Structure 1
Amino acid sequence: MNTLFIVNKAAGNGKGKKVWLQLQQQLTIPYQVAFTEYAGHGQEIAQQWAQQQQDKKLLVVVGGDGTIHEVVNGVVHNEYILIGVVRAGSGNDFARYFHTFSNAQQIEDYVKTTLANARMDAGIVQIGNQRTEIFVNNAGIGFDAYVTKSINTSRLKFYLNKIGLGKLSYAVAVIRGLFRFERFDVMIRSGEHEWQFQQTWFVAMSNQPYFGGGMKISPAAKADDGKVDITIVHGISRIKLLLVFVTVFFEKHTKFKEVTFLQGQDFDLIVANKVDCHADGNYIGIVNQGTNIHCTIQQNAWQVIVKDS
């Protein structure tokens, strides 16, 4: 089987490079390797490789959720590409839900014997006529995207990664944002149903349960059920929101009346204020007042490795 490693050496503030060097020393099977050099490069590499000869290929991502997001965007609906991951990011939410490789031996065993895989859904978020993004884990508007933007423009994540505490960068950014973020109103529609939410902190659109480095924000979400799960946190004070974030790790946030869960195939969101938006932790810009955000799911959109039963 043709095997390509797409390596983000900068992932996890250099963890990607360290993980790759270790893998490289241990691999004995034939393979190709490509290194990402800028934002969006992972998608370009994956697209180019996927367009080559039509046979089964294993594409192993060495990186974090952002790199995985790019790669899956590059191979979505390709019948021949199987996605594997060696975790090397800060949050690693993908690896909390999907099966991943831990070492070179597992990769070699997979290539030589099992090739077990499963087809997964991909989330789609379309912002007016401006932009369409595929997401693997989740997308969101509001506070979580605001925090994502803060992390990406701060040196804090760099220093925390240096001492092996990169996942804390999200928690620190959350606390900072509590006192700066401006809440918004949002209308959500699905079919004949319509909901209005005031003083909203965020709307998370999930294809699997985890976001923000291990917070199980949407416990019922599954990546193969043909549905997108929406979590809305609204009408809650700044201090109580902090309590909600703490309880998310233990799935106790579901008991708060200010946390609403919706599930379906299609949703439209219209915001009354400008809000930030992200997909899989990649900041994708500002959504303007009155812009329609369409969120849906595409079934059987990509293939991921699974444990051989």
Structure 2
Amino acid sequence: MISQLQRGLGNLILFVVNETSGNGRSLSVWRRLEAELVRLGAAYDRISTSSAEQARILVRERIDRGDLKAVAVVGGDGTLHGLLPLLAGSGLPLGLIPSGSGNDTARALGIPGNPLRALELIVAGHTRKIDLLETFEENGQPQHTLTAVAIGLDAAVAADVNGSSYKKWCNRIGVGSIAYVIGLLRILGKFKPRTVKVTIDGKARRFDRCWLSAVTNVPTYGGGLRISPSAQPDDGLLHVCVVHGCSVVRFLTIFPTVLFGKHVRWTRYVTLLSGSAAEIETEIAMLAFGDGEPAGHTPLRAEIRPGQLDFLISASG
């Protein structure tokens, strides 16, 4: 549902600029945005950060002042991810100027890649209620995720990409999503598929030779891979895609089709599930990554939280 910015909020839009996002691209993007904000006569403020923890501290301080009408991130999915605990359920609208590597949030919500066009959505002030994923490890520690929680090969790829130098080079030449393909090729030969138990709303299924089990809130992850084509960020459901029971050669045959969501035709090896809660259990603990950031390891429980985020988006979105 689309609505206007609530009355009674403050009058400033706070822009959170991640200095490291997109290999420093956010800083050059911000210069263009600021010139346009000045031209428009918009009321705004800016904080620049280099870490998720620093961003949370600074944004929390600004929220406590009570002078904000919206928060807008100039960065990627990871930057956005770090602010979700502050903004989930707060009623304070959130906007995005995409300038990261994957930009799957922007892709899912129809936010333009052109910074000035994305800024138009933020200034216009139309909001849409977006669902969030909430995950829990064995210790009960919760974490919010907007796009997807990757478990298995895709998590191993995310870990490799995040710690790599090739990600910086891909960002530098404007092909950030290619970093995930490089990461896949690097990890594929080392990864060993495992037996995974997936429980959706109390109904359990066992998958042998499981390559990945992605819990998603939007259609794409990993820079545009349409892993859950039917997922929508406001449908009140979480979606799980499990790729299982196939050899390396078969996996490599299936993988290119994920770009267009055609992997769903491989029903012998690809299982799609949906519901309100999911539990992922593995014989050996496996890494999990949410929005491309570390999210613990299995066993992991995920639940959908409908309408937790007020996102600034096109009125026709």
The residue aligned with 2:36 is 26
Task: Write the mapping of 1:1-309 to structure 2, written as runs, cut at 5 A.
Answer: 1-28=11-38, 29-53=42-66, 57-79=69-91, 81-100=92-111, 102-104=114-116, 107=119, 111=123, 114-129=124-139, 131-256=141-266, 257-287=268-298, 292-309=299-316
For residues 267-309 of structure 1, what are the alpha-carbon distances to aligned partners after superposition, in whole Å with 9 as ceiling and x for unaligned?
122111121110000123443xxxx311101111110012134
Contact 2:212 2:242 in 1 (8 A): yes
Q: Which amino acid aligns with 2:306?
A: Q
- CA deviation after TM superposition for structure 1 residue 254, in Å: 0.3
Using the size of structure 1 for normalisation, the TM-score is 0.91
Taking the aligned partners of 1:106 and 1:281, their CA distance within structure 2 comes to 22
Contact 1:82 1:303 in 2 (8 A): yes
Distance 1:178 1:265, change over 3 A: same
Q: Which runs of 5+ in 2 are unaligned?
A: 1-10
- CA deviation after TM superposition for structure 1 residue 108, in Å: 5.9
Contact 2:14 2:68 in 1 (8 A): no
Taking the aligned partners of 2:50 and 2:119, their CA distance within structure 1 comes to 24
For residues 13-58 of structure 1, what are the alpha-carbon distances to aligned partners after superposition, in whole Å with 9 as ceiling and x for unaligned?
11111111221222222211011122333333333333332x7612
For residues 100-137 of structure 1, what are the alpha-carbon distances to aligned partners after superposition, in whole Å with 9 as ceiling and x for unaligned?
364447636753xx421111111011111153210000
Q: Which amino acid aligns with 1:216?
A: R
Deviating more after overlay: 185-194 vs 42-51: 42-51
Taking the aligned partners of 1:20 and 1:301, their CA distance within structure 2 comes to 27
Q: Which amino acid aligns with 2:262?
A: K
For residues 116-166 of structure 1, what are the alpha-carbon distances to aligned partners after superposition, in whole Å with 9 as ceiling and x for unaligned?
111111101111115321000011211111001111111111122222222
Contact 2:13 2:68 in 1 (8 A): no
Identical aligned residues as a percent: 29
Taking the aligned partners of 1:140 and 1:57, their CA distance within structure 2 comes to 33
Taking the aligned partners of 1:232 and 1:174, their CA distance within structure 2 comes to 17
- CA deviation after TM superposition for structure 1 residue 223, in Å: 1.1
Q: Secondary structure at the match of 1:217?
A: coil
Taking the aligned partners of 1:225 and 1:115, their CA distance within structure 2 comes to 22
Q: Secondary structure at the match of 1:210?
A: coil
Taking the aligned partners of 1:130 and 1:299, their CA distance within structure 2 comes to 20
CA RMSD of aligned residues (A): 1.9
Deviating more after overlay: 129-138 vs 5-14: 129-138
Taking the aligned partners of 1:164 and 1:105, their CA distance within structure 2 comes to 18
Q: Secondary structure at the match of 1:40?
A: helix
Contact 1:84 1:100 in 2 (8 A): no
Contact 2:98 2:115 in 1 (8 A): no
Q: Which amino acid aligns with 1:21?
A: R
Deviating more after overlay: 41-50 vs 296-305: 41-50
Contact 1:175 1:242 in 2 (8 A): no
Deviating more after overlay: 254-263 vs 185-194: 185-194
- CA deviation after TM superposition for structure 1 residue 72, in Å: 2.3
Contact 1:50 1:75 in 2 (8 A): no
Distance 1:14 1:129, change over 3 A: same
Distance 1:109 1:61, change over 3 A: closer
Q: Which runs of 5+ in 1 are unaligned?
A: none
Taking the aligned partners of 1:194 and 1:22, their CA distance within structure 2 comes to 51
Q: Which amino acid aligns with 1:33?
A: R
Q: Secondary structure at the match of 2:174?
A: coil
